[in-house]
Amino acid sequence: MGGTKRHILSFCLFCLCYGLILGPFVNYMHNKPYAEKLGVLPTIATLKFLSADQKLLIGSSLVMRVITYFGGLAEMAKNKIEIPPDFPVMSRTIHAAVKLDPYNNDAYYFAQSFLVWDVGQIDIANSLLIEGMRYRTWDWYLPYFVGFNYAYFKHDFKSAAYYYQKAAELSGQELHINLAGRFMQESGQIDHAISYLTLMAKDASNPVAKKTFETRLTAFKQVSLIEKARDRFTLKYNRLPESVDELVRTGLLDKTPSDPYGGTFFLLPDGKVGTSSKFAFKNPKGNRPDSGATP
């Protein structure tokens, strides 16, 4: 039948056109700015109403969106493409997700992994986590996170000890009491962070989060190496080393440690270890309350 042939022909023609535009189109969609993709959210009350009986689904999808968005940014940063992440939107989205599904562990987990390190919003993260503790009453991670944030970022050791105690009660392990105890001496900050990050990285099931933790862990391990070398240097020469290079020259370090964030390590006049990358792939202005040069 002639008609059929004509139809097949026109179909093929359209497929060809589609093939032609597909490349540019996929490219266009790929480069559509991320800020647009994370999108805006209605107020939480509206969102709750609109989600009807699918609050859990919507909550999870919000978290997924943030994770994908953040993962994409990390990738771009690696490729030297600078797109400032929209932390306020991310934070809002996570908040909304938690309101829709207060049990959503992903949300807390992700909040803890970027709110505190990258945004420096310790108070926001803690209030989120403490709120979550009301729901996830069995979960020792949330108090553990809170305790860590109090101790490490805010140097509020009393609160830290309180939450570590809660975590210990829930987990039934002495680990957290030990942690708290070790940390109380206010020595070995970096080791404390390393043990925290090791735990986080080990349990991370989401590849983006895992990668975030592992990168930071690698960086901190390097810092720890430098600190140990510095301490040995001080013992040996009875003064602080002037630079990381000096430690290498004196054979206390095998080689100059490399910063996985792409920066270079240096020693501050008081002997603390800093890095030019400030432990971030990029440093969005105004999002960080303190310098963050040292861990």
Partner 1 sequence: MLNHFEITFKSIIRDRIFHGIIFSALIFLLIPSVATLSMRQATELSMTLSLSLISFILLLLSLFLGGTHLWRDIERRYTYPVLSWPSSRSAYLVGKFSGIAAFIFLVALLLGGVAVLTVLITAGIYPPERPIVWNLFFLSIFFDACKYILIVAFAFLFSSVATSFFLPVFGSICIYFVGNASQQVHDYINAPATIGISSITKNMATFVYYILPNFSAFDFKINAVYRVPIQVSGVLMTGVYFVVYLCMVISVATLLFEKREMN
Closest CA to 66 of 32, 26, 113: 113
Which of positions 137-176 make contact with partner 1 (CB under 8 A)?
Answer: none
Instruction: Using the rule CB under 8 A, give the single segment among 7-15, 150-158, 244-252, 264-272 that binds partner 1.
Output: 7-15
Q: Rule CB under 8 A: is residue 40 a binding residue for partner 1?
A: yes
Closest CA to 145 of 163, 121, 159, 158: 163
Q: What is the DSSP letter of 260?
A: T
In the chain, what are the helix, strand and coil shares in percent, each to the nearest 5? 65, 0, 30
Q: What is the DSSP letter of 292?
A: -
Cα–Cα distance list, 293 to 1, 246, 264, 279, 289 (Å) = 76, 20, 11, 7, 12
Q: Which residues of 245-257 are buried (b: 16+ CB within 10 A; e: fewer)?
A: ebbbeeebbeeeb
Instruction: Using the rule CB under 8 A, give the single segment among 68-76, 107-115, 220-228, 233-241 that binds partner 1.
Output: 68-76
Positive/negative CA dihedral, 282, 285, 289, 291:
positive
User: Is the Cβ of residue 28 or residue 103 nearer to partner 1 in the bound state?
Assistant: 28
C-alpha span between 202 and 205 (Å, rounded): 8
User: Is the Cβ of residue 29 or residue 235 nearer to partner 1 in the bound state?
Assistant: 29
Closest CA to 287 of 129, 146, 151, 115: 115
User: Is the Cβ of residue 117 or residue 153 nearer to partner 1 in the bound state?
Assistant: 117
Positive/negative CA dihedral, 141, 147, 149, 152:
negative
What is the pattern of x (binds partner 1, CB under 8 A) and - over residues 9-38? Answer: -xx--xx-xx--xx-xxx-xx--x---xx-
For residue 172, is it left (φ>0), alpha (ψ between -120 and 50) or beta?
left
Q: Which of 56, 58, 60, 65 binds partner 1 (CB under 8 A)?
A: 65
What is the pattern of x (binds partner 1, CB under 8 A) and - over residues 177-216? Answer: ------------------------------xx--x-----
What is the pattern of x (binds partner 1, CB under 8 A) and - over residues 70-89? Answer: -xx-xx--x-----------
User: Is the Cβ of residue 74 or residue 130 nearer to partner 1 in the bound state?
Assistant: 74
C-alpha span between 201 and 269 (Å, rounded): 32
Q: How far is the CB of 157 from partner 1 (least distance, A)?
A: 35
User: Is the Cβ of residue 15 or residue 268 nearer to partner 1 in the bound state?
Assistant: 15
Q: Rule CB under 8 A: is residue 237 a binding residue for partner 1?
A: no
Q: Rule CB under 8 A: is residue 268 a binding residue for partner 1?
A: no
Q: Rule CB under 8 A: is residue 68 a binding residue for partner 1?
A: yes
Q: Footprint of partner 1 on this chain (CB under 8 A)?
A: 3-4, 7-8, 10-11, 14-15, 17-18, 21-22, 24-26, 28-29, 32, 36-37, 39-40, 42-43, 45, 64-65, 68, 71-72, 74-75, 78, 207-208, 211
